[in-house]
Amino acid sequence: MIAVHEALIHRTIRELGKGIARLDSGVVPSDGGDPGELRTALNDNIAALHAEL
C-alpha cells in the first residue's frame, strides 16, 4: 500500500473528468481506441478513487 495525499486524489479525479468531457465533445483517442470503452475505463477509475477518499 502507498500513502497518497488526499489532494492528489481529488486532482486526479478532476483530470480524469476533463478527459471524459473531451470525449463528450467529440475528441477521439489518438491510438484509434473506442471512445466508449475509454469513457467506461475513466468512470471506473473515478469510482475507485472516490472509494479511497
In this prediction, residue 24 carries a pLDDT of 96
Q: Which of 43, 40, 37 is nearest to 16 (CA)?
A: 43
Quick one: pLDDT at residue 2? 87
Collect the ranges in the chain with pLDDT lower than 50. none
The set of cell numbers assigned to 50 is 472516490
Distance CA 39, CA 18 (A): 11
What was the pLDDT predicted at 23?
97
- pLDDT given for residue 46 in this prediction: 98
pLDDT number for residue 1: 83
pTM of the model: 0.89
